[in-house]
Each structure stands twice: as C-alpha cells, then as structure tokens.
Amino acid sequence: MSDCIFCKIIKGDIPSTNVYKDEHVTAFRDINPVAPTHILIVPNKHIDSVDVMIVDDEPLIGHLFTVAKELAAKEGIAEGGYRLVVNTGAESGQTVFHVHLHLLGGRQMRAMG
C-alpha cells in the first residue's frame, strides 16, 4: 500500500532503527516505546489486520513469533520474560493498519485479566 507507514519503512523510504530484516519480516524500534524494549515486528507483505489474514499467511505469521523469540534473546529479555501483543481493529488500539507484533520487555509487566 502506497500510504502505509510500515510499507514505507520496509522499503526504506522512511528511516527507522532496524534491528532485524530478512525476505519476510522487518523489525524496528517503536518511536513511542511503552517499555525499555519495544520492537515492532512487521511482515514485509502488507496485511491490514488479523481479520483479513488467509490460511496462506500462517507460515509468515508464525515467522513473526520466531523472530520475536530471537530478538528477545538478543535484547537480553528472554530470561526474565517479555510480552507479545497484536492489536486488531481501531477499538483494540491498532493505529497502523498493517499487521505487526509488539515485543515488549525490560520491566515488570502488570498481569492482564
């Protein structure tokens, strides 16, 4: 999508602090972090949200989680624990409509529910 900020970051049109990139995924530091480690892990293929994913996207989405695990280890937060978040839709807080995984860690997180 030509107006998607994440697509522009993936293409290199907008600068970012990349921490990982391969043919399927790009990961970069969030510009408004909510934790000491806050990395966005984004598929290079544009997918608006979880609601429009198809069965063929399953390997790609699984790869996001594998990259998250590797980055958590690299960032030194794997042992203490980390949170992975995917927001879907405006009411969930999704502000960029390109599927992405938030990797959060480096501090004590509050329990959810």
Dump pLDDT digits (tens) for 89-113. Answer: 999 999 999 999 999 999 988 887 6
The span from the CA of 24 to the CA of 85, in Å, is 19
* Residue 84 reports pLDDT greater than 70: yes
Residues with catalytic roles: 100
Question: What CATH architecture does domain 5-105 belong to?
Answer: 2-Layer Sandwich (3.30)
Enumerate residues 6+ apart whose C-beta is below 8 A from 46.
1, 4, 6, 7, 98
Domain boundaries, the chain: 5-105
- Checking if the pLDDT of 70 tops 90, the result is yes
What average pLDDT does the segment 42-57 reach? 97
Q: pTM of the predicted model, to two decimals?
A: 0.94
The per-residue pLDDT for 1 is 61
Instruction: Give dist(CA 98, CA 110) in Å, integer.
Output: 26
Q: Which whole-number Å values give the CA distances from 88 to 50, 52, 59, 100, in the listed order?
A: 6, 10, 19, 9
CB 19 within 8 A of CB 28: yes
What is the separation of C-alpha 101 from the centre of its chain, rounded to a whole number of angstroms? 3
